[in-house]
Amino acid sequence: MATNTAHTQAPGGAKEPFPPFRQDTFASQLVWLVLIFGALYLLMARVALPRVGGIVAARAKQIENDLA
């Protein structure tokens, strides 16, 4: 007679939850998210994007002068 050998758990028993979803570390992860996002936003807004904007403006001016 056949027996049912289907299991709902992986061998070795239950495991801990996925680290980003653990309730005891969730608050600190939100704090780090806000800090890193804020730092990257300020870096992009004050350093990278003004440089890119200057380059785009210079290219537009050069193209306009070349076509004139």
In tens, the pLDDT along 4-58 reads 666 666 666 667 777 777 888 889 999 999 999 999 999 999 999 999 999 999 9
Residue 12 in domain: no
What is the distance, to the nearest Å, from the Cα of residue 15 to the centroid of all Cα atoms in its chain?
A: 26
Per-residue model confidence (pLDDT) at position 64: 96
- Judged by phi (left if over 0) then psi (alpha if -120 to 50, else beta), residue 12 lies in left
Residue 44 in domain: yes
Per-residue model confidence (pLDDT) at position 18: 79
Number of domains in the chain: 1
**Domain range for 44:** 25-67
Q: Please tell me the total number of residues recorded for the chain in this structure.
A: 68
Sign of CA dihedral 35, 36, 39, 41: negative
Higher pLDDT, 65 or 15: 65
What is the distance, to the nearest Å, from the Cα of residue 26 to the centroid of all Cα atoms in its chain?
A: 16
